[in-house]
Amino acid sequence: MFRWKNVHGAVGASALAALLLSACGPQAGEGDQTDAALRPPGNGNGSGSVAELMAARNLSEDDVRAALATYTPSGGRDEYLIFASGGHSGQIIVIGVPSMRILKVIAVFTPEPWQGYGYGDETDALLASGARDGQPLGWADTHHPALSETAGDYDGQFLFIGDKANARVAVVNLKDFTTQQIVVNPLIQSDHGAAFVTPNTEYVIETSQYPAPLDGAFAPIEEYDEKYRGAVTFWKFDRAAGRIVPEGSFAIELPPYMQDLADAGKLASDGFVFINSFNTERAWGGVLEGNPPLESGASQNDMDYLHVIDWRKAEALVAAGKTETVAGMPLLRLTTAAAEGVLHFVPEPKSPHGVDVTPDGKDIVVGGKLDTHGTVYSIEKVKKLIADKNYAGTDPYGVPILPFEEAIRGQVEIGLGPLHTVFDDKGYAYTSVFLESVVAKWSLADLKVVQKLPSHYNVGHITAAEGDTVSPDGHYVVAMNKWALDRFNDVGPLLPQNFQLIDSSGDEMRLLYDLPIPIGEPHYAQMIKADKVTPIEIYTPVGTNALTHAVDPNAVTGGKEQIERREDGVHVHMTAVRSHFTPDIVRVKQGEKIHFHITNVEQAKDATHGFAVGSYNLNASIEPGEHVNMTMIATRPGVFPLYCTEFCSALHLEMAGYLLVEPK
């Protein structure tokens, strides 16, 4: 392989800087990179040769290579898009690779005024639909984004993400990068293994984390073993409608272990879902009450249980009416699941974290956060053990346990605290190793580590180009580090996270870039080839509602603007175009309800208009061709400016008017 080191090997240790300078510039023939005469003025930035810039900015040869591998010139496009969860920001972060620039923050569970998300009738209603038991929720703890798949490959159409704090799943349409739906899981109180999809996005998988009574009722913690349960929900996805539909969705009851991550089988393991678990000890803390804290109570057993679920069999049982309806959800009871061969356990080393199916679907890799191994299960062996009913026993809830040694293909000695694993196209796996702070590259064929690349602290998840598909691209890996200690300029006690882009195309991994993540803690991310995502540029036809993707019944066309009084209030039919609203003066009486119907009649890409009414908390972002509806009650009299909040034209500041509220 042709490599950097080889090219320059003949000149030994001489720095690239010196080499370039001495060879390439007539004026530099007698200089070296430390010669002041050859330095540009000031601190050396902005002009000068590679050598000078290296010297001025203290860049190594590796830095130069990394810079050139990531720098994307003005107007250049990124090759991949990362969709990363935004942690408890409740949003999704979109990042270009290799430039590592944040291109968008998709508003999902949290109001985002810049996007007008949560500030108009439709998005208000969308966020309200995410309330739990009448409790409005202004945030979420987004964990695992999942791109929709066709035949096990990302298809670039939809994106799903789970809310750990409130057990919800959202659907994002990648046609316009907007959230379309939020579903609340009535069975469970928190999730973690969400969202993951089956290979054709038949289902979106959401697995509980912290057990609780499945009917939402209270039960004393002392009745944990009897009344607390986990569950995995299979949300049916209707691709044509772009929505999760209750019809056909179902759940399977699980024991009160703490189910953790999940992954769907594919190819050789198609039809299965794998979920790992910790706390098979069924500890629940109670540290002030004389119990050990959960962190030690849940870490007693040497083995926990990998859950192996045959979802096609479950689907058939659901169709056959073998469910109970609990909290409104068809639920396959644990006893049924165990008896009917839907659910099997395989022991997995102490408190595992990640479970990841290999691209060919043949193996399932489990990381043990208190173990030093990656454990590789063979679906062929697992299937045979199931077929042969070759059990090592049953758990306290009657679930058959497959024998560990006979279910695995082997273990790879990785290091302290292996968590998550992703894959490339050359037969290698990449595992984040939390305690050791490295990314370990290892061979799937012979289960041997070939390289460890130091990462930053608290490396958690890891993602790879097309890494969760049946055909990973093998070019890039990103280590998602939770800490940024000492890595960037200080910005107060709350630090960003740190995404480290790694070039995984060659024999050896190379660190390319550290990206601070300034909003939320991204738990997981998926990376898709950018050309698979083909969003619309404007809304057509003019008057399209972004939630229905159809022309809004209240869409306004130029010339038809009016202010109309109806029984239900004042309807303002308004257009926005550079650089005015029509109408621009709205006169109402105190107490009147106002319905703003605003169409941005522009069809030029990027010609977004904002619409704000001061002091009334009214704010919209109206993309070209988009129509929005907003309702307010003019409770307070006065003179309230309204204006466009996007710098749309030279006369943008003049794109303004007044809401005049006359006192009663």
Least Å distance, CB 155 to a copy of itself, is 17
Helix (H) or strand (E) run with residue 158 in it: strand 153-163
Both tokens assigned to 608 = 């977004």
Provide the pairing of β-strand 585-589 with 618-622.
unpaired
Least Å distance, CB 360 to a copy of itself, is 21
Least Å distance, CB 345 to a copy of itself, is 19
Cα separation, 101 vs 494, in Å, equals 21
User: Toward a copy of itself, which CB reaches closer, 306 or 515?
Assistant: 515
User: Toward a copy of itself, which CB reaches closer, 295 or 324?
Assistant: 295
Cα separation, 369 vs 141, in Å, equals 22
At a CB cut-off of 8 Å and minimum separation 6, what does 449 contact? 412, 413, 414, 415, 440, 441, 442
User: Toward a copy of itself, which CB reaches closer, 272 or 476?
Assistant: 476
Cα separation, 452 vs 450, in Å, equals 7
User: Toward a copy of itself, which CB reaches closer, 286 or 569?
Assistant: 286
Cα separation, 594 vs 632, in Å, equals 5
Q: How far is CA 78 from CA 97, 102, 106, 501, in A?
A: 5, 11, 18, 13
Least Å distance, CB 485 to a copy of itself, is 4
Task: Give the DSSP letter of residue 293.
Answer: P
Q: In 87-231, where does DSSP find H-type helix?
A: 121-128, 224-227
Least Å distance, CB 448 to a copy of itself, is 22
Rg for the chain, CA atoms, rounded? 28
Least Å distance, CB 381 to a copy of itself, is 28
Q: Of the candidates 263, 241, 369, which has an alpha carbon nearest to the alpha carbon of residue 308?
A: 263
β strands within 436-509, DSSP E: 438-443, 448-454, 459-464, 476-481, 497-503
Q: Nearest 5 degrees, angle CA 468-CA 312-CA 269?
A: 40
Q: Of the candidates 182, 190, 201, which has an alpha carbon nearest to the alpha carbon of residue 231?
A: 190
Cα separation, 70 vs 476, in Å, equals 11
Helix (H) or strand (E) run with residue 17 in it: helix 16-24
Q: What share of the chain is helix, strand, coil (3-state, %, to 5)?
A: 15, 40, 45
User: Toward a copy of itself, which CB reaches closer, 365 or 588?
Assistant: 588
User: Toward a copy of itself, which CB reaches closer, 123 or 269?
Assistant: 123
User: Toward a copy of itself, which CB reaches closer, 338 or 594?
Assistant: 594
Least Å distance, CB 341 to a copy of itself, is 29
Least Å distance, CB 248 to a copy of itself, is 26
Cα separation, 86 vs 496, in Å, equals 12
Both tokens assigned to 331 = 């639920």
Least Å distance, CB 568 to a copy of itself, is 21
User: Toward a copy of itself, which CB reaches closer, 112 or 466?
Assistant: 112
User: Toward a copy of itself, which CB reaches closer, 392 or 536?
Assistant: 536
User: Toward a copy of itself, which CB reaches closer, 393 or 535?
Assistant: 535
Least Å distance, CB 574 to a copy of itself, is 10
CB 472 within 8 A of CB 422: yes
Least Å distance, CB 232 to a copy of itself, is 17
User: Toward a copy of itself, which CB reaches closer, 64 or 402?
Assistant: 64
